[in-house]
Amino acid sequence: MVPDFALQRCKFLMGSPASDTPALRTGEFVPLIALLISLGALAIDGMLPALPAIGEDLGVVNRNDVQFVIAAVFLGLAVGQFFFGPLSDRAGRKPAIHVGLILFMAGSLMSVFARTFEVMMVGRVLQGIGVAGPRVVTMALVRDQYEGRQMARLMSFATSLFILVPTIAPALGQGIQWLAGWRAIFASFFGIAVVAFVWFAIRQPETLPAARRRPMSLSAVGSGAVEVLKIRSALGYTLATGLLFTPFLAYISAAQQIYQDVYETGALFPFYFGSLALVIAC
């Protein structure tokens, strides 16, 4: 007789859905989810070593303004989250993530060919709006298919892979810049998004049946927001997350100048940044 714990382990490895939707094997689903949610971190941390070159090539007078290359992504991410959740409830999980990836690819191409800092800012905001799609909808995608301890374990595995991105992205970005210039970094973002789009489109089934979809309207979004705000614990966690995220945003935006201009780390900046990111994550 096979022990119960062994059966549970096999079910987890094979993918045990919470719904009737056929699920990918966990061994494929976890890296796919990790890739989707990592696009935002990659687009932010991978650009840090290239900020001085971007400012010089695009004629930025005030060096501090180059930090907006990072802040613009966060702005787009904040705006996009209000849109993609309702869209995924209306059109399904896959279309919402597809739209997000397409916007991210468009923003990447706009940044590749940007000749002014203003165009670069538009491209970066578009990238941020785009990554909001995978960032938000993948959580719903997981909840559609898994529940309880299996869902927690799967997200733990995906997060473990996600944590690696801030530690290696600056070094990858610097390597690409040395080989082909800073514009090639954005081209690599485009290529990674294409891989994610094709992989997700071919392999991941839709997890939200048509019968469970809801109309998309401002009133529905507003009522949902009010309902969440009525829950004190949810409001408290939201405020706490915001307070924690604010200094993180300031650190990410100023990290390149702090390390390279103040501490004169030079080409070793990605390694210092990655090491600290790993310590923070642990």
| Spatial contact of 41 and 169, defined as CB atoms under 8 Å apart | yes
Distance CA 175, CA 117 (A): 23
Distance CA 126, CA 109 (A): 10
pTM here is 0.87
What are 153-204's pLDDT values in tens digits? 888 888 888 888 888 999 999 999 999 999 999 999 999 999 999 999 999 9
Contact by Cβ (8 Å): 21, 145:
yes
Residue-wise pLDDT for 73-92, tens only, equals: 999 999 999 899 899 999 99
Tokens describing residue 6: 């062994």
Burial of 52 (0-12, 13-18, 19+ CB in 10 A): middle
Q: How far apart are CA 250 and CA 28, in angstroms?
A: 35
Asked whether residue 282 carries a pLDDT value surpassing 90, the answer given is no
pLDDT for res 21? 56
Mean pLDDT of 220-238: 83
The pLDDT, as a whole number, for residue 88 is 93
Residue that wins the pLDDT comparison between 187 and 210: 187
Does the structure show a pLDDT above 50 at 2?
no
The per-residue pLDDT for range 34-59, each reduced to its tens digit, is 999 999 999 999 999 999 999 999 99
Higher pLDDT, 15 or 121: 121
Domains by residue range for the chain, with CATH: 22-281 (1.20.1250.20)
Mean pLDDT in the chain?
A: 87
pLDDT per residue as tens digits for the range 99-120: 999 999 999 999 999 999 999 9
What are the structure tokens assigned to 27, written together? 């061994």
206 — phi, psi (to 5°)?
Answer: -70, 135
pLDDT band at 20 (very low <50, low <70, confident <90, very high): low
d(CA 95, CA 87) in angstroms, rounded, equals 8
Is residue 204 a contact partner of residue 144, using CB atoms and an 8 Å limit? Answer: no
Q: Is a pLDDT exceeding 60 seen at residue 33?
A: yes
DSSP string for residues in 70-119 = HHHHHHHHHHHHHHHHHHHHHH-HHHHHHHHHHHHHHHHHHHHT--SHHH
Residue 179 burial by Cβ neighbours in a 10 Å radius (0-12, 13-18, 19+): exposed
pLDDT of 10 higher than 80: no
